[in-house]
A and B are shown apart, each in its own frame.
Chain A
Amino acid sequence: MKILPIFLIIIQALTFRLAVAQDYKAMDFGINGDGQALNTRSIQAAIDYITNKGGGTLRFTPGNYVTGSFYLKSNVTLHLEQGANLLGSNNPFDYHKDTVVNWQSMIYAIRQHNIGIVGKGTINGRGFQTAMNALQNVHKGIVQDELKLDRLREWNRPENIYFRECKHVVIKDITLRDPGSWNQTYDQCEDLHVEGIYVDSKSYWNNDGIDVVDCKNVVIRNCFFDAADDAICFKSHDANAVCENVLVENCTARSSASALKFGTVSRGGFRNFVVKNLVVYDTYRSAITFAAVDGGFVENILVDGVRSINTGNVIFLRIGDRWSKGKKPFMKNITIRNVYAEVPANKPDLGYSYEGPVEDMPRNISPASIIGLPDHKIENVTLENIEMVYPGGGNALYAYRGTDAKSLDGIPEMANAYPEFSQFKELPAWGLYIRHAKQINLKNVSFRIKNTDYRPTIVADDLEGGVWDFKSYLNGQVLKDSFHLHQSKEIKTN
C-alpha cells in the first residue's frame, strides 16, 4: 500500500512536466512559413491555446513566418529552430500600439511569467521598410506624427520585443535583426536571463541592441551586439523604480552610439552592477557612458575587463538635470578597471549602416570625462589598470580651450542638455577631464598619444580629493607637467 502514494506522486510529477514542457508545432496551428502569409492571428491563437493548457513550447521549424504584433503569455516559450525566421510585416497597420507601454512592437508580453524565446532562429523586424511605409502614411495624412528629424517618433515604429512587468524571462541563442525602433525592451521585469544572443540592429534610427529598463536580477551573458544606436543600454523610466542586481558578462558590442550605457532616461536609478569582459569596437561615441540626468542615481558599479578598439571615447560619466523634477541625482562608488582602449583620429563607425551623425564641428579629439554639476558631484570613482591610447594632434587653430581660469570657467554646465561626451565641444585636456567631483582615484593609469596635442593630459576643475598614480606618454616618451588643476584640492599625485 505504501507504493500507491509514491506512484501517484510520480504520475503527478510526470503530468506536470508534460504540461509544462509540451511541444507544439507552429504549422499545426496553420502558421505558414511561406514568407507571404500574415500569421499574426494564428500565432496568437497558438499561444493562447498553449497558455490555457498550462504551458509549453511553440516550435517554429525552418521557414519564413511573417507577422504583426502578438502577445506572449505565461508558461509559453517560442522556440525558433535554426532557419526559422520570424519576419516583421512591412505594413505598419499590422502593428499594435500597446496601451500599457504606449509603444509599438512585434512581440509583446505584459504581466506574464515563465516566458521565453529560444533557439537558433531569427527575429527580423524588417523595420526599415516598415518605417518608410509609415513615413509615407504620415505624408498622406492618414497617420499623425510630428516627424521630428523627418522620421516617426520611436514609439510609433515597431520594436522586435517589448516585455513589461514579466517574471522569469529567458531569451537564449536567438538572432535579432533590423527592428523599426529599439530592438528589445525589458521593462520592470524580474529574473531576466539573456544568453548567447546575436543582435544585428542597424537598419534604422534608434536601433538599440538591448534596453533593460528598471529590471531586477538580470544576467546578460555571451552576447553579441552590433547596433546603430546604443548597444547594451540600461534605462530607468520610472522615478520610483530602479535597475538593479545586474551581471553583464563576456559580451561584445559595436555601436554607432555608446557600447555600454546607463540612460539616457534615468529617472529612478541604477545600482549593483557587475560588468565583466566587455569587448567594444568601431563604436562612434563612448565605450562606457553612465548618465544620471533625470534625477536618478548610479551606485555600486564595477566594470572589470574592457577592451575598446577604434572607439570615439572611452569613459563618459555625467550628472545632468534634464527632467529631474526636484529629485536629487547622485553618482558614486564606481570602479572601472583593467581597461585597454584605443581612440582613433577618424570616425570610428565609417561605413556601417546608419552611422552616427556627424556633429557640428569644430572639436579636437575629446578626453574621457567625469562631469557632474556644481550641486551634484560625482563621488568616489576609481580608475585602475587602465591604458588609453589617443591619436593626439589637437590643433588650437581648429578648436581651442585653454587652461586659464577664464577658459575653464567658460565651459558651459549644460545641465539640461542631452548627455554626450562631445556636448561641450572642445575640452581643455586630451586624456581625462574632471569637473564637479569628489574623490577620483587613478591607480596605474597610462595615457598615450602619437602626435603632440596643445592640451595637457588631465584637467580637473572643482575636484575635491583623489590619489593619482598615472603616466602620460608622447610616442613612448614620458610627458611632464601633464595635468592642470583648477579650483581643486587634496589631490595627491605620484
Chain B
Amino acid sequence: MKKYLFLIFLWASCFRLFAQDYNASLFGCKSDGITNNTGSIQYAIDYIAKKGGGTLHFYVGRYLTGSFSLKSNVSIELHEGAVLLGSSNVFDYSSLNGKRALITAIGQSNIQIKGKGVIDGQQQLLQTHLTALRQKGYITLSDQPEDISLIYLQDSKQIQVKGIMELNLPGAAQFVDRCEDVTFQGLDINCPGGIGVYVRNSNKVILSNIFFRAIERALVESEGNQGLTKENSRLANGKSI
C-alpha cells in the first residue's frame, strides 16, 4: 500500500513539475476589449499542451475572443476582474460537430476553468449582428444564436468549471455531452432566456453552489445521464434546482 502511495506521490509531483503558469500577455493577448485575441489564446493553449500542461492566467481586463478549443491538461484561470468577452461577430464562432460555442473541449481531459472572473457572451450585440445578417439573407435559420454556448464539452472527462460568473448567452451556458466526471461549482450564471446547464449521456456530473439569475431554465437533463448530483444550487427566487 505504502509503495502505491509513494508512486502516486511521485506521479503527482511529476505532474506538478509540468503544470506551469503562463500569463496571457506572453502570447500577445490584449486586455482592451477591442483586440480579437482568438489566435493568441488558441496558440497559448496549444503551446502549453505541448509543454506538458499548465495554466493560462488572465488578469483584470476584457479579453475579446472568438471560439477556441481546450486541450488536455491546460487550465484557464480568470482572476478577479478578468472578462473573457465573446465576440459579437457570429463568424468568430466555429462549428464543431455541429455545435457552436465560445469554448469547446472535445475528447479532452483534466481541464479547469476557474477563478473569480467572468465569461461574457455579449448576447445583445451578437443578436444584433445575427438579425442583420438574416435580414439580408446572408445566413440561414440554422445559424440561430440558440446554437451558441459559452462552454461545450463533448467526450471529455475530469473537467471542472469553478467560481466564474457567466453572462449573456441565450443558448446553454454550458452544454455537456457524453462526458464523465464534470464539476460545475460556485458559478453565478446570468444568461437571459437561456439554459444554465444542459447535460446528456454523461456520468458523474456535479452541480454545486450555483446561483442562476435571469435564466429561462437552470438545468436541462436530457437522456442517458448517470449520477447527476445537485447541491446547494438555486434560482434568484430561492427555488432549489
Contact = CB atoms under 8 A, between A and B. Distances in A.
Contacts of A353: 32-34
Nearest to B120: A358
Interface stretch (B23-31, B66-74, B153-161): B23-31
Interface string B16-45: 000000011110101111100000000000
A355 B85 CA distance: 12
Interface string B194-213: 00000000000000000101
A147 interface: yes
Most buried by A among B61, B116, B118, B213: B61
A221 B80 CA distance: 37
B184 interface: no
A149 interface: yes
B178 interface: no
A217 B83 CA distance: 42
Most buried by A among B25, B59, B83, B234: B25
B188 A147 contact: no
Contacts, number: 60
Contacts of B237: 397
Most buried by A among B32, B33, B58: B32
Contacts of B57: 150
Contact of B24 (A150, A362, A397): A150
A221 B179 CA distance: 63
Interface string A357-386: 111111000000000000000000000000
A376 to B, nearest CB: 28
A149 B116 CA distance: 14
Interface residues of B, number: 32
Nearest to A203: B32
Contacts of A150: 23-25, 31, 57-59, 61
Interface in A108-157: 128, 132, 135-136, 139, 147, 149-151
Contact of A360 (B30, B33, B59, B80): B80
B81 interface: yes
Interface in B56-92: 57-62, 79-83
A147 B79 CA distance: 14
Given A150-B59, A395-B236, A358 B25 contact: no
Contacts of A128: 32
Contacts of B213: 398
Contacts of A360: 80, 116
A354 interface: yes
A361 B188 CA distance: 8
Nearest to B35: A132
A358 B81 contact: yes
Contacts of A151: 25, 31, 59
Contact of A354 (B32, B116, B117, B211): B32
Contacts of A398: 211, 213, 236
A395 to B, nearest CB: 6
Contacts of A397: 234, 236-238
Given A139-B25, A149-B59, A358 B236 contact: no
Contacts of A136: 28
Contacts of B23: 147, 150
Contacts of B34: 353
B165 A361 contact: yes
A151 B30 CA distance: 10
Contacts of B33: 353-355
Nearest to A204: B32
A453 B57 CA distance: 37
Nearest to A138: B25
Interface of A: 128, 132, 135-136, 139, 147, 149-151, 204-205, 353-355, 357-362, 395, 397-398
**Pairs A-B, 5 closest by C-beta atoms:** A357-B81, A360-B116, A150-B59, A149-B59, A357-B60
27 contacts: A132-B30, A135-B25, A136-B28, A149-B59, A149-B79, A150-B59, A150-B61, A151-B25, A151-B59, A353-B32, A354-B32, A354-B33, A354-B61, A355-B33, A357-B60, A357-B80, A357-B81, A357-B82, A358-B83, A358-B118, A360-B80, A361-B165, A361-B188, A395-B236, A397-B234, A397-B237, A398-B236
Given A358-B83, A362-B211, 4 more contacts: A354-B33, A359-B81, A362-B188, A397-B237
Interface of B: 23-26, 28, 30-34, 57-62, 79-83, 116-118, 165, 188, 211, 213, 234, 236-238
